[in-house]
Structure 1
C-alpha cells in the first residue's frame, strides 16, 4: 500500500531502521520491498487470524522492534491491534515497555470504531452529531421499520462485513413508485436479494440519509498520542472512492471545524471510564458530511456557510488513511512517531500539510479512468467493462466541491503530482506501475478468477463482485 511507504520514508528520514511487513499473495511484489528507505522486508500469512498475529509478534521480537506502526487495510486492523497488545504485554513482562511504542488502539476500541453501528452509537453517546441509525438483522425487521410514520429516507450499509458492491450504493428506502408513494413490494424484493443478505450473521444499518443538493463529503486523517492529543491532521474533500487528494488549507473553517470535532471526540474518549488504562493512541480517519443550513444562500461560500449547518460523522477507520501522503511532504511528519511522544503534559505542535502541498493522484488511475475515456468510444469501453466510465459519466455527486475563498476542488480531474513518486526513492514508482499492478491484475484473472467492478490503485485493492 502507498500509505505504508509514506510512513516508512518519514521514519527513515528520522533515523529509524525500517522493517516492512506485508501479506503473502498480493503483498509479494509490494513496492516497499524495493525502497531504499526500507532495511528489511517480511511476508506474513494473509487474511488475518492467529497465524497472522503470531507472525507479526515473532518478527517484532526477532527484529527487536521499538516501534510498531500498522498501515493495514480494513480486513486486518483488529488483528494488528491484537498483535500490538501482545507486544505491549511482552515488553511489560520483560520490564522494557518504556522503550516500545505501538501506534494503534486497544483491540476493543478498534472494534468500537471500525464497526459502523458501534461507532455511531459511541459518537451519539458523546453528544456528537452522527446519522440516526438502526441495526436490523432481517428483511422483515427492516420493512417494519420503514413502515413506521415520519421515518426519514434511509440507506443501507452492511455492519459486519466488507461490502465491495454495496459501499457506493445510495439507494433510498423505501423505494417509491412513479407517483412518489412508498412501494413496499418493490422494496421487499430488493432487500431480499442483496449480495450480502440481511441476517443475524450479517446485520445492516438502516441509516438516515443526509441529503440536499449542496451536501459535501470530507475525509480526515489524525495521528493521536497516548494523552488523546492530535499530533497530525489533514482534511480533504471526498467521495465514495477518492482518487484525487486535495489538501484543505489549514485556515479553512470546515477543516478547523473537523479538527475541533476530532479533539472533542478524543477528549470524550479519554474521559470515558470504559477506556481508562487502555491504549487510545493510534490513527483515526473520520469521514464527515457537511449539510448546509436550508436558508444558506447560493453562490460563493464564506466562513459563515461552513461554520453553520450540520457536520455529521458517518464513519471512523481506525487506521492510516491514504491522505497521509499529503502530510508526508512535511519534514516534521516523522516526529509524531518518536518514542517519547505523548509523555509530556505540554500540548504538542500540530503537523499539517505544507502550504505548498499539491493535490495528488495516481497515473495508473488517471490514464484509464480520466484520459482514455475521452479517446475510446463509449460502446468499446462498455464492451471491455460495463463500468468503464469517467467520473462525470458515472454521475459522481461529489466530483465538484466549491469550498469558498476561491478554493475549487475537482475530484474527477488528475492531481498536480503522482502520489507514488518520490525523487529520493524512484524505484518503488517503477515497480508499482510496471510490476505490482500487472501482477495483481494477472493474479485476479488467472488465480482468483472472480469478477470485479473497480480498482483502487492507491490501496492495491480490487473490488470483487
Structure 2
C-alpha cells in the first residue's frame, strides 16, 4: 500500500536521494525546504519524484520563528495526510526539527524519523555527547571541557612532556572555526598562548580540548527505528567531505563501527528513532591490522555525533530495501526486515557478532563512488589552471595539473554525481543555474543580498555543493 512520505531538506543531496527512493518504490512523496521569500531556489522542488513542494520559513532561534516553522510542518502533515515525516535537517535546524517532531506526533498520527529535543541536544553538543558515551561504557578519546582561555592553557600545560596533542573545538556550530585543526600545544608556550588568545572562549561559549589520535578518520550513517539499527554504512572521512566510497560491509572497520552504533541505539530504547551518524578516529596500527584481518575488533575513538541524516545516505541510491526499513516505523514493533541484505550482498537474518540485533541493510553491491561535478570541476581543474596561468613560482607543475585533470576525468567517467539522475535531471540543472547563481549574488552583499532575501553577504572561503552551504 502506497504511503504519503514528507521529506524535508530536498534541496540537499541527502533529502533528494531519499525522496527518489520513496518515489521509485511507489509512494507519494511530498517535499519541503527553506527558500528566500520570493525566489524558488531549492533544486529539489523541480524533482519528478515529488507530488508537491512546500516552502518553509527558516527558524532563527527565536520562539516566534520556531513556532511558525512547527506550524508550517504541522499544516503540511495535515493537508497532505502524511504517514511518515523523514527529517533531513541541516546542522542549524536539528533542534527545531526535534521540537516539531514532538508536536507532530502529539497531535497527529504521523510518525517522525527524527530524535526528540533532549536526545538531539545531548548528541549534537560535543561535550555532552562524550559524557553520555562514557556513561554507556563505550570508549572515548580524552576530552576536556573548558570555559576560559586560562582553563585551556592549564590543560595543555598539564600535558607538557607527555607527547599528547589536542585539537580545540567549539562545542556548538560555528563555520568560522570548524576547519581549525591546529594541534596543541604548539612549539612554544608563547605560540600556544597566542593561538588560544584569538579564540572566543567563555562560560556562554564553551569549547573542548580533545585528544588527537594519529590515524585515519571515518564517518557512518545509520537509520535507527525504535532502538534498532535498520540501515548502516561506513566510509572514509575528511574535513570537507565531497567524495563518498563505502567501506566493505563485512570488513573489520565497518563491523566495529556497526557494533558501536547498535549498542548506542539499544541504549536509547524504544523511543530512539532517527538518523544517527558518527565520526571516528582509528589509530594507524589498528587501521592497518583491520585491513589484514577482517575479524579484528578495532578500537574506535568517537569524536563527534550528528543526530541527523548524513550525505553518505546517497550510497543507498541503488538499495530499494532502504524504503522497507523506514516503513517498519509504522509497525507496532520495529520488526526486523525479513530479507535484510548481508555484507556480502546475499539475504540473511543472521545476528551480528555481538548478538544485539539482526544485520541491518547495507548498500547493495557493487556500490558506486560519489562526487559532485561542480566541486570537482573547480578544485581539480579550474583552480589548478588559474594557478598555472599565473606563472607563480609556487604554482603547480604541468605534471600536477595533468594528474589533477585526469582525476577529474576518472570521476566523470566512472563515478556517480550525487545530484544528477538521467530520469530526474532538473534538480542538477537547477542547483548550478539557479541556486548557486542566487547564492553567489547574495554573497556580494549590500542591496543585492537584501533584495534577494539573503542578507548583506559576508566572508566565505569554502562551498559544500552537497549540503548547499557556504562557509
Q: Above 0.5 in TM-score?
A: yes
Cα 1:113–1:340 shift into 2, 3 Å: closer
Cα 1:204–1:264 shift into 2, 3 Å: same
The answer to whether structure 1 residue 288 and structure 2 residue 305 are counterparts is no
Q: Residues 405-437 of structure 1, C-alpha deviation per residue, up to 9 Å, x if partnerless?
A: xxxxx9998461111111221111211222222
Cα distance in 1 for residues equivalent to 2:45 and 2:287: 54
**Which residue pairs with 1:398 in the alignment?**
none
Cα 1:389–1:219 shift into 2, 3 Å: farther
Corresponding residue to 2:369 among 356, 359, 362: 359
Query: Quick check: 1:222–1:232 contact (8 Å CA) kept in 2?
Result: yes
How far did residue 52 of structure 1 move? 1.9
Cα 1:115–1:32 shift into 2, 3 Å: same
Q: How does 1:54-453 map to 2 (within 5 A)?
A: 54-91=71-108, 97=109, 100-149=110-159, 152-160=164-172, 162-176=173-187, 183-194=188-199, 197-211=200-214, 215-226=215-226, 228-270=227-269, 279-293=271-285, 301-303=291-293, 307=296, 310-338=299-327, 340=329, 343-344=332-333, 346-348=335-337, 349=340, 350-378=360-388, 380=390, 414=411, 416-446=415-445, 447=449, 448-453=456-461
Unaligned stretches of 5+ in structure 1? 92-96, 177-182, 271-276, 394-409
Q: TM-score, normalised by structure 2?
A: 0.81
How far did residue 173 of structure 1 move? 1.8
Query: Quick check: 2:281–2:303 contact (8 Å CA) kept in 1?
Result: yes
Q: Residues 175-214 of structure 1, C-alpha deviation per residue, up to 9 Å, x if partnerless?
A: 21xxxxxx323222221212xx011111101111112xxx
Q: Residues 332-388 of structure 1, C-alpha deviation per residue, up to 9 Å, x if partnerless?
A: 222222155563464333221121221010000010101223422257499xxx9x9
How far did residue 441 of structure 1 move? 1.5
**Which residue pairs with 2:69 in the alignment?**
52
Q: Residues 286-342 of structure 1, C-alpha deviation per residue, up to 9 Å, x if partnerless?
A: 111111448968xx94126x8355311111101111110111221222222215556
**Which residue pairs with 1:460 in the alignment?**
468
Query: Quick check: 1:245–1:411 contact (8 Å CA) kept in 2?
Result: no
Cα distance in 1 for residues equivalent to 2:390 and 2:362: 44
More helix by share: 2
Cα distance in 1 for residues equivalent to 2:372 and 2:229: 28
Query: Quick check: 2:372–2:465 contact (8 Å CA) kept in 1?
Result: yes
Query: Quick check: 2:328–2:335 contact (8 Å CA) kept in 1?
Result: no
SS at match of 1:128: coil
Query: Quick check: 1:225–1:342 contact (8 Å CA) kept in 2?
Result: no
Q: Residues 61-93 of structure 1, C-alpha deviation per residue, up to 9 Å, x if partnerless?
A: 2222221111110000110011010011112xx
How far did residue 149 of structure 1 move? 4.8
Cα distance in 2 for residues equivalent to 1:354 and 1:129: 30
RMSD: 2.9
Query: Quick check: 2:377–2:408 contact (8 Å CA) kept in 1?
Result: no
Give the number of aligned pairs.
413
Cα distance in 1 for residues equivalent to 2:229 and 2:119: 17
Cα distance in 2 for residues equivalent to 1:8 and 1:245: 19
Query: Quick check: 2:225–2:334 contact (8 Å CA) kept in 1?
Result: no
Cα distance in 1 for residues equivalent to 2:264 and 2:296: 18
How far did residue 28 of structure 1 move? 3.6
Cα distance in 1 for residues equivalent to 2:181 and 2:298: 22
Unaligned stretches of 5+ in structure 2? 1-11, 61-65, 341-359, 401-406, 450-455
Cα 1:412–1:238 shift into 2, 3 Å: farther
How far did residue 156 of structure 1 move? 0.5
Query: Quick check: 1:290–1:310 contact (8 Å CA) kept in 2?
Result: yes
Cα 1:380–1:54 shift into 2, 3 Å: farther
Q: TM-score, normalised by structure 1?
A: 0.82
